[in-house]
Amino acid sequence: MKAIVPTGGRGVRMQPLTFSTNKHFIPVANKPLIFYPIESVAEAGIKDVAITYNPGWLDLVKGFLGDGSKWGLKFTYVLQPEPLGLANIVEVCEDFVDGDRFFLHLGDNIFTEGIKELVDYFERRKPYGLITKIRHPENWRMGVPVFDKQGRLKDYLEKPKNPPNEFAVPGIYFFDSVVFGCFRGRGKILPSERGEYEIVGPFKWLIKRGFRVEVIEYKGRWLDPGKFDDWILANQYILDISNSGQIKSKIGPKNVIQGRVGIGKNCKIQNSTIRGPVLIGENVTIRDSFIGPYTSISNNSLIEKSRVENSVIMEGVKIVNVERPIDSSLVGSQTEIIGADGHSDWVEFFVGEKSRLKI
């Protein structure tokens, strides 16, 4: 079996940050978002992975991810010439799949309990298609599976106004290679009203032609940090479940460390309080500051005489003399936030890379 992990997409809901960086490389709990699906693929025992990219992104994506050996994988980079939807990502990977069974795992989705159970089910049952369902209170924003009276899948709706049930389809989709027939000949799938080839199309094509498509419920937590608020919530959740609290730097006696706090190598913590869950990268300096719960701070950052909590601080950020608490913020790499006079009780940021603010 093979896997496809896309890095494309415009990331419009994460602008302005995605004007200068790919959404898939923004960190969640100090780890680039796309690392989570790649790790899940590796843990499921898959070795051959297609990484799809849009024009102009190959050097950045390849430089960031390498050849896959970091995870024991083999990456093949596949160009998606135009951002024409998820089904088009499947289409451009036909040569890579080369007749194998495969699945598409969105590069911006996190399945917190891994996907091995799903992969094993697909291998064991050998349906022509397999979708995963979750219970979701806002499933009208997503794909929704529809079942007959016997509980068998009979349809798959894309963002229905009145969903017939409480289920939604998250970002992992399994196929037999017979599905590539949906892209050619009579009855081939067509683009939707928004001009994209939706992922529901291949599944509907299979169902219409009598190919068995099954559904399995995912019992773990599914995270889709596609917009700012969801990113902060995903950061909170990952810090809660994965922060081991390992401290790799020497912490002086004038500091207070409370709860689960992870600190990387070569950090300098002086006269500060850090209250977990918090994850701090390497070469970070924190002086005369308070770092509150659910904050992740990436490498080479400086925080001095400031208070930061419930935030994602990317690499090389400088926060100095900010008297009011910084809360629920996502600060892009190489940004400087320098304190000045002000009168609000707190401040909140969603800041792109290489910005400079005075507050």
Q: Which of 173, 203, 237 represents a domain boundary (last residue)?
A: 237
Q: Which of 237, 252, 275 represents a domain boundary (last residue)?
A: 237
Please indicate, yes or no, whether residues 96 and 40 belong to a single structural domain of this protein.
yes
Distance from C-alpha of 200 to C-alpha of 109, rounded to nearest angstrom = 18
Q: Is the pTM of this model over 0.75?
A: yes
Distance from C-alpha of 106 to C-alpha of 329, rounded to nearest angstrom = 25
Please indicate, yes or no, whether residues 248 and 233 belong to a single structural domain of this protein.
no
Q: Which amino acid is at 224?
A: D
**Of 40, 39, 50, whose CA–CA distance to 98 is shortest?**
50
Please indicate, yes or no, whether residues 100 and 185 belong to a single structural domain of this protein.
yes
Q: Which of 219, 237, 255 represents a domain boundary (last residue)?
A: 237
Please indicate, yes or no, whether residues 15 and 152 belong to a single structural domain of this protein.
yes
Place of tokens 């690499």: 315
Please indicate, yes or no, whether residues 171 and 270 belong to a single structural domain of this protein.
no
Residues ≥6 apart with Cβ < 8 Å to 52: 4, 5, 6, 7, 8, 77, 78, 79, 80, 89, 92, 93
Which CATH number covers residue 347? 2.160.10.10
Range of the domain at 252: 244-358
Please indicate, yes or no, whether residues 257 and 332 belong to a single structural domain of this protein.
yes
- Per the structure, how many domains does the chain have? 2
Please indicate, yes or no, whether residues 227 and 267 belong to a single structural domain of this protein.
no
**Of 213, 142, 228, whose CA–CA distance to 182 is shortest?**
213
pLDDT in tens, the chain (359 residues): 999 999 975 555 555 555 556 788 889 999 999 999 999 999 999 999 999 999 988 998 999 999 999 999 999 999 999 999 999 999 999 999 999 999 999 999 999 999 999 999 999 999 999 999 999 998 998 889 998 887 788 888 888 999 999 999 999 999 999 999 999 999 999 999 889 999 999 999 999 999 999 999 998 999 998 777 888 999 999 999 987 789 999 998 899 999 999 999 999 999 999 999 999 999 999 999 999 999 999 999 999 999 999 999 999 999 999 988 999 989 888 888 888 765 556 666 666 666 666 66
Please indicate, yes or no, whether residues 290 and 305 belong to a single structural domain of this protein.
yes
Please indicate, yes or no, whether residues 141 and 251 belong to a single structural domain of this protein.
no
